Amino acid sequence: MSNFCNTLLSQQDFLEQYWQKKPLLIRQALADFESPISPDELAGLACEEEIESRLIEEHGVKGQWQVTRGALKEEDFARLPETHWTMLVQDVDKHLPELQTLLDPFRFIPDWRRDDLMISYAPKFGSVGPHTDSYDVFLLQAMGTRQWQIMDQPIHKAVLIDGIDLQILKEFEADQTWELQPGDMLYLPPHIAHHGVALDECMTFSFGFRAPKKVELLDSLVNTLLEKSLANDLYADPSLTLNQYKAEIDSQAVARVKQLLHQTIDEADPVLASVLAKFVTESKPSLVNLASEYATEPMTFEDINRLFERGEQLQRNVYYRFAWLKNASGGELFMAGEAHAVDEAGVAFLALMTERDFLEQDDWLALKQSKSAVNVLLDLISEGGWFWLIDE
């Protein structure tokens, strides 16, 4: 699949001019695009128990903007009118691995930033209301026509409609309006208010990119410091002065605490990359069971060597998130929030084990020269991060 930046601007130009800065409409970003999934197939996914889905009815039997969460049932679809509703299914790129190629045009953005591919279907006038998202999103029109209205300036403190199960803006006044045809794509930075309405039967592919909150990173940092028995220094006040009141926490005490926390973060610098990697590779709760189904009994070097020699392949489990980094002792591979260490010789194979979709015999012939890389691969196979395409 071609890269959508090729026809308009370079990937670096996009990052410098638009990424997390301002919206961009790209006409025919993916020319002649045809949806690889039909509305009926999407509805089938929405009916599966372990797949996250929603049905949003603007005029539901229980009130305005009624939300029904999956698994959806026959009766949910049977009651629907001809217009004014939307079905959304999360993580379609993982449930249908053959759609992974749709992510290729976005690979210039780090994989660990990517969340999922959500696909929505709507008949005429279907919408989820004007809203903002806290993440970057690329909205690819896959079928039919959708009108998008956006506001130019971000909204950081949104005022929402009360009493409904959706975060719909109480007030929305568009600055720009576009109609998107199949192949057209709209990029929106975080907090840009937008409102999409189907003008006919349509499908929209939403490629979302997640970002951790400050408090989430701090929580992850604290847990890591506790695990490693770091930052155990006590609060100290050698410059203490007489205070008029006995129970007052004065501004000097607060300043000391602030300095202590800054010092703690500075001293934690060697583990900050690991903190980030653990957090961004944690499995989404809705995918944990599906991911763990691929776990298997521990294998030996001889086991996997024999299977590769027999021509079998390993496939990476797309339900898991992967990342890797270098450090003073070599490197670490992260999967599902857990770290796997390699020595300096094993670093060369971290990208192979986290970024490739398949591993074949030629990959194994190179990888098996590193004992630490082999040990990590053995762990990943037993945990279900990689699995064999052909059963013994």
Catalogue all structural domains in the chain, each as residue range(s) with its CATH number: 11-209 (2.60.120.650), 214-238+249-280 (no CATH), 285-388 (3.40.366.30)
Tell the residue number behind the tokens 């001889």, with chain if given.
302
Above 70 in pLDDT, residue 5? Answer: no
Q: Percentage of the chain with pLDDT > 70?
A: 97
pTM: 0.91
Distance CA 181, CA 33 (A): 10
Contact partners, residue 51, CB within 8 Å, separation at least 6: 45, 70, 71, 89, 90, 91, 95, 286
> Can you give the pLDDT at residue 193?
97
CB 111 within 8 A of CB 206: no
Average pLDDT value for residue range 29-57? 96
> Can you give the pLDDT at residue 270?
86
Average pLDDT value for residue range 5-24? 86
Above 70 in pLDDT, residue 8? Answer: no
pLDDT tens for residues 333-351? 999 999 999 999 999 999 9
Above 90 in pLDDT, residue 227? Answer: no
CB 92 within 8 A of CB 164: no
> Can you give the pLDDT at residue 243?
86
What value does the mean pLDDT of the chain take?
94
Note if the bond before 295 is cis, omega within 30 degrees.
no
> Can you give the pLDDT at residue 231?
86
Q: Which residues pair with 341 in a beta bridge?
A: 332
